[in-house]
Amino acid sequence: MSCARALAQTLAGTPTAVKYGPMPITVKTPACPLVVSPPPRGTDGQWSIEGQGADIKALCHDTGGNLMGYALTGTAVMEKLALNKVLPALLA
């Protein structure tokens, strides 16, 4: 919706930058739901993985400790919205 507003303002004569937030990929399966937001290409980061069984949370942090990407399975997919708020914008 914010992209449409930016376009409308630009067309009305007020140039407005478009900002795209994180766009995670969701795979809906009954056996094991999966949500992935991969880090940007070329990111120098470290993955940390926690959980067990089908409930896994994997986070990728850059060398400065900033969250750059994640992969969630099972019950961990409920953390998607909170993690998206921490991820950097794709286009800003």
Residue 51 lies in a domain: yes
CATH of the domain at 65: 3.30.390.120
Report residue 92's pLDDT band, with 50, 70 and 90 as the boundaries: low
Count structural domains, the chain. 1
Structural domain includes residue 2: no
> Does any domain span residue 12?
no
Domain range holding 80? 22-86
Q: 23-72: per-residue pLDDT in tens?
A: 899 999 889 999 999 998 888 999 999 999 999 999 999 999 999 999 99
Type and span of the H or E element at 88: none
In a domain, 60, yes or no: yes
DSSP 8-75: HHHHTT------B----EEE--SS--EEEEPPPTT--EEEEEEEETTEEEEEEEETTS-EEEEEEEGG
Residue 8 lies in a domain: no
